């Protein structure tokens, strides 16, 4: 039995901790609050520590064979807080000779024509895109300097059980449909969009941790073929047995601008509106050509997600 440390316990961190524990590993989860108020999961220990404090994190990950960076600062503090967090993760994993698996996203590419591939430059012009690109540059530099062994798993917008706030699809589509309300979306409801299923994120991160040939670069998490918000809403409605036509409306820029005056999150999302105004498609063929994990079929994703929301409501 080996020790694996998951830093952060959002949807991806929680799914990863459960997966690793189910594989028989000893799992240690590091968050600021520790295990207070969290459900007990066999094989998962919760430790309270500030992940941006390199000394505290080094102590928390002692004895681990892998450290998974699943934590992230609030959107409005990315530029200020990401460098310290990424540096701390590198220092802690390097001190213990553990492989560091970073959970990344696609903001660093900025707007591109065609599908997103890992060999595209991290050329984002916006603050959040530059901040996220800078995280990987910092980690990659540490890897190339021999201070840590590292790899990044990049995912598109999350979908699946456990995804609530911040899930552009889950928080706007599933609960709205189950409550009989219209679905609101940030951009074109008919534009193809890649949605990454959270359990697939967990499986890919665990696989990359044990694959030395993967280290030193970024990989796109296996993701099902892109579907529009409208099509995903139709699939959710079918699974949930919701009758009648699915109503999908586009939020106007004026409404978003007004909401951004009082909501820091909506204000920050204006930078990435391009991801929803046109097709936003992930190419994960590089990963699939080298490793075993494949995207869960969309029908299974939808069924599990609807079941989770219903259980949560109950």
Complete domains list, the chain, with CATH:
3-156+196-221 (3.40.50.720)
What does the DSSP 8-state code read for residue 10? S
Answer whether residue 98 shows pLDDT above 70: yes
Answer whether residue 224 shows pLDDT above 80: yes
| pLDDT confidence bin for 209, thresholds 50/70/90 | very high
Residues 1-12, mean pLDDT to the nearest whole number? 95
Please give the pLDDT value at position 260.
57
Q: pTM (2 decimals)? A: 0.95
Residues 163-185, mean pLDDT to the nearest whole number? 80
Which pair of tokens denotes residue 160? 């699946």
Q: Is the dihedral of CA 93, 94, 100, 104 positive or negative?
A: positive
Q: Which of 4-13, 107-116, 259-268 has the least mean pLDDT?
A: 259-268
Residues 116-129, mean pLDDT to the nearest whole number? 95
Most confident of 20-34, 68-82, 174-188: 20-34
Q: Which of 105-114, 136-145, 148-157, 179-188 has the least mean pLDDT?
A: 179-188
Residues 46-53, mean pLDDT to the nearest whole number? 97
What does the DSSP 8-state code read for residue 272? G
Please give the pLDDT value at position 314.
73
Answer whether residue 200 shows pLDDT above 70: yes
Please give the pLDDT value at position 269.
72
Residues 270-286, mean pLDDT to the nearest whole number? 93
| pLDDT confidence bin for 64, thresholds 50/70/90 | very high
Rounded CA-CA distance 235/241 in Å is 10
Please give the pLDDT value at position 205.
99
The dihedral over CA atoms of 175, 179, 180, 185, expressed in degrees to the nearest 10, equals -30
Residues 171-193, mean pLDDT to the nearest whole number? 87
Rounded CA-CA distance 23/4 in Å is 11
Answer whether residue 43 shows pLDDT above 70: yes
Q: What is the mean pLDDT of the chain?
A: 92
Question: CB 121: neighbour CB atoms within 10 A?
Answer: 10
Answer whether residue 258 shows pLDDT above 70: no
285 with 220: CB under 8 angstroms? no
Please give the pLDDT value at position 1.
75
More confident residue, 249 or 52: 52
């Amino acid at each position: 039995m080996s020790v694996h440390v998951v830093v952060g316990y959002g949807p991806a961190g929680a799914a990863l901790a459960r997966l690793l524990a189910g594989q028989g590993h000893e799992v240690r989860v590091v968050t600021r609050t520790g295990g207070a108020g969290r459900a007990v999961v066999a094989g998962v220990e919760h430790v309270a520590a500030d992940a941006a404090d390199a000394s505290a994190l080094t102590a928390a990950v002692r004895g681990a064979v892998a450290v998974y960076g699943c934590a992230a600062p609030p959107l409005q503090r990315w530029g200020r807080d990401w460098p310290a967090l990424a540096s701390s993760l590198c220092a802690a994993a390097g001190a213990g000779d553990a492989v560091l698996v970073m959970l990344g996203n696609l903001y660093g590419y900025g707007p591109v024509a065609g599908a997103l591939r890992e060999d595209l430059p991290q050329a984002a012009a916006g603050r959040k895109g530059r901040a996220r690109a800078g995280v990987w540059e910092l980690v990659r530099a540490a890897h190339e300097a021999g201070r840590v062994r590292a790899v990044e798993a990049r995912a598109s917008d999350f979908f699946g059980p456990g995804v609530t706030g911040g899930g552009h699809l889950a928080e706007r589509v599933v609960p709205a449909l189950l409550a009989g309300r219209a679905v609101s979306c940030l951009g074109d409801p008919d534009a193809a969009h890649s949605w990454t299923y959270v359990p697939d994120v967990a499986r890919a991160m665990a696989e990359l941790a044990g694959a030395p040939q993967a280290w030193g670069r970024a990989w796109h998490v296996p993701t099902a073929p892109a579907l529009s918000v409208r099509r995903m809403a139709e699939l959710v409605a079918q699974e949930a047995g919701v009758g009648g036509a699915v109503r999908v409306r586009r939020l106007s820029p004026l409404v978003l601008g007004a909401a951004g005056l009082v909501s820091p999150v909506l204000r920050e999302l204006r930078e990435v509106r391009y991801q929803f105004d046109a097709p936003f498609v992930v190419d994960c063929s590089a990963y699939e050509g080298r490793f075993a994990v494949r995207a869960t079929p969309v029908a299974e994703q939808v069924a599990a997600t609807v079941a989770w929301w219903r259980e949560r409501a109950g």
